[in-house]
Amino acid sequence: MNQRLVGLVSQLSNDKTKLTITGPPSPTIYSPGPAFVFVLVDGVPSFGSKTLIGTGAQPPLDEGALNSVLSQQPLYWDKWTAAHPNASDAERNMFSSLPAPSPTGY
């Protein structure tokens, strides 16, 4: 599991009962999704509090990229068919109408 430490801007209320934390400034600093927030006091971490960075909504779908991926035979298709000589006709013809991938795979 990947972990990263991101220092966030925070402000403690005057009566010291509320801590306001400003989230990461951009998705390149911390991608939207689940996260644990820890408060450090003199270098000692608190228990982690699970939170969600962002809205939880799926990013926009790039139709062009999806169509490009779906329009090509899978990489190593020739190796799969060679390794599965007893594959059914339906399995072998699954991608037969698609162009073979270029040598670079793209």
pLDDT of residue 99: 57
**Residue 4 confidence class, pLDDT cut points 50, 70, 90:** confident
Q: Are 65 and 104 found together in one domain?
A: yes
pLDDT of residue 81: 78
Candidate ranges 7-21, 24-38, 57-71; pick with highest mean pLDDT = 7-21
Q: What is the mean pLDDT of residues 71-93?
A: 80
How many domains is the chain built from? 2
pLDDT at residue 18 is higher than 90: yes
The whole domain housing 105 covers: 60-106
Instruction: Name the domain boundary from 19, 36, 53.
Output: 53
Q: What is the pTM of this model?
A: 0.46
CA 20 – CA 5 distance, rounded (Å):
18
Residue-wise burial string across 57-67, b where 16 or more C-beta atoms lie within 10 A, e elsewhere: eeeeeeeeeee
